[in-house]
Structure 1
Amino acid sequence: MLAALLDIDPSEVRLYNLASFVDMVESGVSDDRDLRIFEIGWNGLTVRVWAAHPLFLTDDASLLGKWAELYADIASSAAAEAIRRAQY
């Protein structure tokens, strides 16, 4: 399926850093447990890096809503940071 989506030969598909939903929730630090599945980098109890292009094999449609919410927050923070830098 991934090879077809990416239009590449199936032998070229590489999967890495795989984790179960439970593992991601348990290792995350966000107050919102649903957002923990998008965390990929931390500094103590602060999320420093969020997944830019997550790939999930699930039938839970609510995750798409969480991703949209998180992506909007990330974009807003990036815009605010760019404005702050431009002012100085």
Structure 2
Amino acid sequence: MAEATVSVILEQMTAITIDKAIEAWSLVQGAEKEVKRLETNFKAHRLELEDAQEKEYVDKRVKLWLDKFRYVSYDMEDVLDEW
């Protein structure tokens, strides 16, 4: 009787563990795809940043925008580096 109970409990625990492992793996894969998407966007933003740096001396509005953009860009880079 005790063996049957233990066997049932072990089967249920195994099923739960497998489900949780599959769920965790799916989350990791989703995060990796998101990081790759962010890296692509970041590279595009870097090009915009370089273009804006050339124009910042001509237009003061560009300089203001560029300062804000620079801080966001640095934050994005830090997050991607940590990943």
Q: TM-score, normalised by structure 1?
A: 0.34
Larger radius of gyration: 2
More RCO (CA 8 Å, sep 6+)? 2
Higher helix share: 2
Q: TM-score, normalised by structure 2?
A: 0.36
